[in-house]
Amino acid sequence: MEREGNDYDLGGEKSFPIESLDGKASIFDSTLLLDHVGEVILTLYSDGLSWKSIEPLENDISSCLGIKYVPKIPNEIKLSDIYAVEFIDNTLFHMSNLPRSTERALFGHDIKIYHFIVHGFIRSNKQPSQWILTEYTFGHKNLQTCEMWVNQLHSYLKLQVERPRNLLVFVHPRSGKSNGCRNWESVAPIFSRAKVETKVIVTERAGQAFDMMLSMTNKELSSYDGVIAVGGDGFFNEILNGFLSPRLKAPYPPTPPDFAHLAKDKGDSLIVDENEILEETSSQSEDQFPLISSPNQSRYRISNLNSEDKAPEFPVPNQWFRFGIIPSGSTDAIVICTTGTRDPITSALHIVLGKRVHLDIAQVVRWKKTPRSEVEPLVRYAASFSGYGFYGDVITESEKYRWMGPIRYDYAGTMVFLRHRSYEAEISYLDVESEQTNPTSKRNRESRLLRGSKAPRRSERCICRINCEVCNEKPENAATEICSLTPHLYSDKRKWVKTKGRFISVGAAVISCRNEKAPDGLVAEAHLSDGFLHLIMIKECPHASYLWHLTQLTRKGGSPLNFKFVEHHKTPAFTFTSSGNESVWNVDGEMFQAHQLSAQVFRGLVCMFATGPEV
> What ranges make up the beta strands (E) of 48-165?
48-53, 62-64, 67-69, 76-78, 82-88, 114-123, 131-140
Q: Would you tell me how many other CB atoms lie within 10 Å of the CB of residue 270?
A: 15
Q: Where are the beta strands (DSSP E) in 299-344?
A: 322-327
Which region holds residue 405: left if phi is over 0, alpha if psi is between -120 and 50, else beta? Answer: left
Closest alpha carbon to 392 in 237, 593, 548, 553? 593
Q: Which residues pair with 389 in a beta bridge?
A: 505
Q: How far apart are CA 216 and CA 92, in angstroms?
A: 49
CA distance 32 to 150: 13
CB 519 within 8 A of CB 333: no
| Residue among 501, 502, 489 nearest 436 (CA) | 489
Question: What's the sign of the alpha-carbon dihedral 285, 291, 295, 298?
Answer: negative
Of the candidates 29, 81, 225, 233, the residue annotated as catalytic is 233
Q: How open is the CA angle 229-333-312, to the nearest 5 degrees?
A: 70
DSSP 400: G
Q: Across the chain, how many H-helices and E-strands are there?
A: 14, 26
Cα atoms found within 13 Å of the Cα of residue 253, Cβ hemisphere only: 32
CA of residue 512 relative to chain centroid, distance: 12
CA distance 489 to 431: 10
Closest CA to 203 of 246, 163, 244, 242: 242
3-class secondary structure per residue, 111-127: CCCEEEEEEEEEECCCC
β-pair type (226-231, 166-171): parallel
Residue type, 585: W
Q: Is 233 a catalytic residue?
A: yes
* Backbone angle region of 38, left / alpha / beta, with phi > 0 → left and psi within -120 to 50 → alpha: left
d(CA 206, CA 295): 12
Please state, in angstroms and rounded to a whole number, the distance separating the CA atoms of residues 67 and 155.
45
Sequence-ordered alpha helix ranges (H) in 7-142: 100-106
Which amino acid is located at 128 in the chain? P
Q: How far is CA 178 from the centre of its chain?
A: 21
Catalytic residues: 233
